[in-house]
């Protein structure tokens, strides 16, 4: 009887597919779907976690002060070779201050080739505009000055410097010529306005006021437009143009 009861319970267990781990009986074998799921799981690639990269960002606030803990920004600015020594030599050659620009001032170095009738026309138009819009005074901004009839960038920059004491840029045909001879521009420029923009990219702003009168007198006495006096120039060995003359 006991053997028959055990056989009966064993047969019921196999029929239902339920095993008892606690009683020492083996569990029912897994079905086909379970086997396939386990196979896919075992072949699933293991994802590796990427290491987070730390970015160091340096920034400035609205007042131009670097924030605490920020790294300094690395800014590469092009500048011509030997320009500091060239500038020092020009200062030495101009220490007597006896060029025409020193006696008259840059504001008096007008364009003598301009027709007198054209000058009168512009003067009349500009005078009327100044009386109507500026109460007889002149504008205090570069944009308003160049908008006046007959006033170009050169005269506007000079007016800002002389009338308002504001250095707004570097101007003059002498500066244009000398800057190209000394290679103070990254590439050769074709106009004084192009030269002004090229110089202002790298020349420290505190030198803008000095450089205009300095180079104008230097161009009037030594670095002449035609037949420059290179033999008398302290920059002869440092000037690329002098090597080709």
Please state, in angstroms and rounded to a whole number, the distance separating the CA atoms of residues 218 and 174: 8
List phi, psi (to 5°) of 196.
Answer: -55, -45
Q: Give me Rg for the CA atoms of the chain.
A: 42
Catalytic residue from among 51, 97, 154, 190: 154
Catalytic annotation present for 154:
yes
Active-site amino acid positions: 154
């Amino acid at each position: 009887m006991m053997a028959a009861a055990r056989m009966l319970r064993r047969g019921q267990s196999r029929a239902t597919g339920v095993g008892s781990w606690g009683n020492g009986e083996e569990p029912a074998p897994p079905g086909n779907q379970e086997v396939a799921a386990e196979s896919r799981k075992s072949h699933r690639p293991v994802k590796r976690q990427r290491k987070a990269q730390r970015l160091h960002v340096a920034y400035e606030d609205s007042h131009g002060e670097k924030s605490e803990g920020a790294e300094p920004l690395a800014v590469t600015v092009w500048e011509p070779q030997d320009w500091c020594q060239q500038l020092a030599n020009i200062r030495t050659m101009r220490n007597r201050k006896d060029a025409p620009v020193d006696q008259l001032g840059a504001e008096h170095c007008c364009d003598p080739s301009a027709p007198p009738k054209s000058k009168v026309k512009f003067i009349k138009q500009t005078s009327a505009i100044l009386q109507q819009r500026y109460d007889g005074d002149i504008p205090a901004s570069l944009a308003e000055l160049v908008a006046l009839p007959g006033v170009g960038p050169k005269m506007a920059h000079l007016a800002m410097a002389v009338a308002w004491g504001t250095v707004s840029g570097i101007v003059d045909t002498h500066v244009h010529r000398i800057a190209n001879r000394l290679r103070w521009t990254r590439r050769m420029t074709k106009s004084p306005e192009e030269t002004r923009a090229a110089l202002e990219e790298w020349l420290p702003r505190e030198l803008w006021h000095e450089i205009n009168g300095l180079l104008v007198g230097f161009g009037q006495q030594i670095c002449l437009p035609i037949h420059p006096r290179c033999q008398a120039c302290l920059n002869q060995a440092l000037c690329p143009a002098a090597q080709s003359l």
